[in-house]
Amino acid sequence: MAAARDVVIVGGGHNGLVAAFYLAKAGLKPLVLERRAVAGGCAVTEEFFPGFHGSTLAHGSGPIRPEIARDLKLKKHGLIMLEPEPRLFAPAPDGRALQLYGDTATSAANILQFSKKDAAKYPHLQKTLARIVALLDRLMTMTPPDIDNPTTGELMHLLMTGRQFRRLGRDDMFRVLRWGPMAIADFAAEWFETELLRAVVAARGIFGAAMGPWSAGSTAVMLLRAPADGNPSGTGAFPRGGMGAMTQAMAAAATAAGAEIRTGADVAQILVKDGRVSGVALASGEEIPAKAVVSNADPRRTFLKLVDPVHLGPDFVVKMQNYRCAGNVAKINLALDSVPPFTALGGEKGSAAALAGRIHIGPETDYLERAFDASKYGQFSEHPVLEATIPSISDPSLAPAGKHVMSIYAQFAPYKLRDGDWNGQRAALGDAVVKTLAAYAPMLPGMILHRQVITPADLEEHYGLTGGHIFHGELALDQLFTMRPLLGWARYRTPIGGLYICGNGAHPGTGLTGQAGANAAREIAKDLKR
């Protein structure tokens, strides 16, 4: 029997790779076990149709936190980030289109076509967000405090946060307190009068969530994602070569630092002996002994599938069963014959440049809310909210010459369907998405060479996301910070000695930032160095 490994990391998603890197840096010899043939988890580039390469799932970077990118030297490992402008293109039914840029003034100038007032307010929002985000940023990078006896270090950190909080000044302090539990629709309406702009802002609060813009707490989701990029337009950074290029760079960085990555290694069980992890067992039957096991899988999968519940106790198990992680996002990848002309850009004569960033389909907050309504009753939206990108515009390497790939997040598509299953409804969902796009780009349907529809069921089956939830669990007030995944278990440690979690089911749990992995590695190193 082989000698016990220092650390085995279950799952080679971006957080697993980031954790591997930092653990290796800390002088440990982590082994990453990835079930699939390629590392990267939800951030992978795959050839979904001969000659057409797309970011199969996630199509935009979180973005990755700058300090993490620096530590991992992702540039050196071949990552090139593209930041096309405009960042966001949002066509309106009336043929106009809103375009937001990295530069505030340019964005404001574009908003002017809709409203003088909003154009004036937009820079104000950006400034305010930037101030508040600086505070939230500190919370992202910290390990949530122990609820029973916080250590002095944590208290210091909280105190610093408190200081910074006070430095915000009274108005901003109250803004933070008031905004957190607010519905993003109210937030957007307080700032802007243009429905389209409201919808664009609101969309950030509901992405990946089982919430509509009128759901209380959706503003918190927006604020949580904002630290990654305080720009109200949201982030617009894409890795050249698709998302896979980013995780490949991470893998390279981890390997260079001394981590080992094994693909095609499907962990079937996390082994526990007298309340402590002893290693993992692969589906192949192979057993790998380890002093510590770090799970990049989502909490439900980790605690209810990979670990035998007897080691956890009924109370923990029941709470974990109540952990909400029913996904609501579907992913559609299109192989296109050419760039679809959007009516708002002057149809065929129009230029494609405006489509290089994110394309937002969802003209009004009520449209977003109605899309959500369907999901509450177990149906997908006939008129979904869409975020699309055509990465091949700025990165021709993804598709054959002149051809293009289009990547679309579609909301809402509930994991649990009221009638039938996703195999029966996959096509219908694909049709609804294409139909919705066709309203703004009438020629699109005729340009589709191939269509790949990935439903929440597929996300669960092929990518191991329980419930198909892209964030490893609902980003709701009751599952954040000290409560992610469970109150008292937000410190990357688990009831089982030597078992840790490092995925988005742990704080901060927002998108592709790598922060959960970095935070977890910090805590794990502390324990293992003892």
Partner 1 sequence: MSADYDVIVIGGGHNGLVNAAYLARAGKKVLVLERRHVLGGAAVTEEIFPGFKFSVCSYVVSLLRPEIIRELELPRHGLEILPLDGTFTPMPSGDYLWRMNDHAKSQREIRRHSRLDAEAYEEFGKSMLEMCKFVKPILAMTPPDPTTLNPKDLMKLLFIGKRFQALPYQDKYNQVQLMTMSAADFLDGWFETDVLKATMSASGIIGTFLGVRSPGTAYVLLHHYMGEIDGAFRAWGLCRGGTGALSNAIGDAAREAGVEIRKEAPVAQIKVKRGVACGVVLANGDEISASVISSSVDPNLTFLKFIERGHLDDEFIEEVKRYKFRGSSGKVNLALDALPDFKCMPGPGAHLRGAISISPSVDYMERAYDDAKYGHHSRRPYVDIVIPSLTDPSVAPPGKHVMSCFVQYAPYKLAEGTWDDQRESFGDTVIDTISEYAPNLKNIILNRQVLTPLDLEREFGLTEGNIFQGELSLEQLFFLRPVPGWARYNTPIKNLYMCGSATHPGGGIMGAPGRLAALKILEETKGGK
Q: 496 or 525: whose CB is closer to partner 1?
A: 496
Q: Which letter does DSSP use for residue 240 in this model?
A: T
Distances (CA, A) of 421 to 162, 428, 458, 461, 465: 49, 12, 11, 13, 17
> What is the greatest pairwise CA distance in the chain?
72
Round to whole Å and give the CA distance between 40 and 35. Answer: 10
Least Cβ distance, residue 173 to partner 1 (angstroms): 4
Least Cβ distance, residue 216 to partner 1 (angstroms): 4
Q: Is 81 helix (H, G, I), strand (E, B) or coil?
A: strand
- Structure tokens given for 359: 């394309």
**Should residue 349 be labelled a site residue for partner 1 when binding is judged by CB under 8 A?**
no
Q: Which of 117, 166, 273, 526 binds partner 1 (CB under 8 A)?
A: 166
> What residues numbered 178-197 form the site for partner 1, per CB under 8 A?
178-182, 186, 190
Q: Are 373 and 414 in contact (CB under 8 A)?
A: no
**Should residue 48 be labelled a site residue for partner 1 when binding is judged by CB under 8 A?**
no
Least Cβ distance, residue 187 to partner 1 (angstroms): 10
Size of the site for partner 1 (CB under 8 A): 35
Q: Which of 73, 324, 383, 416 binds partner 1 (CB under 8 A)?
A: 324
Q: Name the segment binding partner 1 (CB under 8 A); options: 25-33, 169-177, 280-288, 290-298.
A: 169-177
Q: Which of 348, 335, 470 is nearest to 407 (CA)?
A: 335
Name the helix (H) or strand (E) containing 256. Answer: helix 243-257
Q: Is 31 helix (H, G, I), strand (E, B) or coil?
A: strand
Fill in the per-residue mask, 108 to 147: x = in contact with partner 1 (CB under 8 A), - = not in contact. ---------------------------------------x
Q: Which of 173, 304, 353, 449 binds partner 1 (CB under 8 A)?
A: 173
Distances (CA, A) of 139 to 223, 303, 394, 395, 516: 12, 26, 34, 35, 12
Q: Is 415 helix (H, G, I), strand (E, B) or coil?
A: coil
Q: 59 or 469: whose CB is closer to partner 1?
A: 469
**Should residue 148 be labelled a site residue for partner 1 when binding is judged by CB under 8 A?**
yes
Q: Which letter does DSSP use for residue 302 in this model?
A: I
Q: Is 411 helix (H, G, I), strand (E, B) or coil?
A: strand
Q: 118 or 229: whose CB is closer to partner 1?
A: 118
Q: Which residues contact 526 (CB under 8 A, 6 or more apart)?
A: none
Distances (CA, A) of 22 to 256, 289, 519: 11, 21, 9
Q: 75 or 167: whose CB is closer to partner 1?
A: 167
Q: 51 or 93: whose CB is closer to partner 1?
A: 93
Round to whole Å and give the CA distance between 132 and 147. Answer: 24
How large is the C-alpha radius of gyration of the chain? 22
Q: 94 or 148: whose CB is closer to partner 1?
A: 148
Least Cβ distance, residue 349 to partner 1 (angstroms): 38
Q: Which of 45, 99, 215, 302 binds partner 1 (CB under 8 A)?
A: 215
Q: Which of 448, 477, 497, 523 binds partner 1 (CB under 8 A)?
A: 477
**Residues forming beta bridges with residue 52, ordered by sequence position:** 49
Q: Are 359 and 387 in contact (CB under 8 A)?
A: yes
CA 308 to chain centroid: 29
Q: Which residues contact 439 (CB under 8 A, 6 or more apart)?
A: 93
Q: Which letter does DSSP use for residue 36 in this model?
A: S
Least Cβ distance, residue 100 to partner 1 (angstroms): 25
How many CB atoms lie under 10 A from the CB of residue 195? 18
Q: Name the segment binding partner 1 (CB under 8 A); options: 21-29, 288-296, 455-463, 474-482.
A: 474-482
**Should residue 313 be labelled a site residue for partner 1 when binding is judged by CB under 8 A?**
no
Q: Which of 337, 461, 478, 527 binds partner 1 (CB under 8 A)?
A: 478
**Should residue 352 be labelled a site residue for partner 1 when binding is judged by CB under 8 A?**
no
Q: 71 or 366: whose CB is closer to partner 1?
A: 366
Q: Name the segment binding partner 1 (CB under 8 A); options: 71-79, 355-363, 366-374, 450-458.
A: 366-374
Q: 328-352 in b/e burial notation, b at 16+ Cβ within 10 A?
A: bbbbbbbbbeebbbbbbbeeeeeeb
Q: Name the segment binding partner 1 (CB under 8 A); options: 76-84, 473-481, 513-521, 522-530.
A: 473-481
**Should residue 85 be labelled a site residue for partner 1 when binding is judged by CB under 8 A?**
no
**Should residue 462 be labelled a site residue for partner 1 when binding is judged by CB under 8 A?**
no
Least Cβ distance, residue 491 to partner 1 (angstroms): 15
Q: Which of 11, 217, 357, 362 binds partner 1 (CB under 8 A)?
A: 217
Interacting residues with partner 1 (CB under 8 A):
147-148, 166, 170, 173-174, 177-182, 186, 190, 211, 214-217, 315, 319, 322, 324, 366, 369, 373, 376-377, 476-478, 483, 486-488
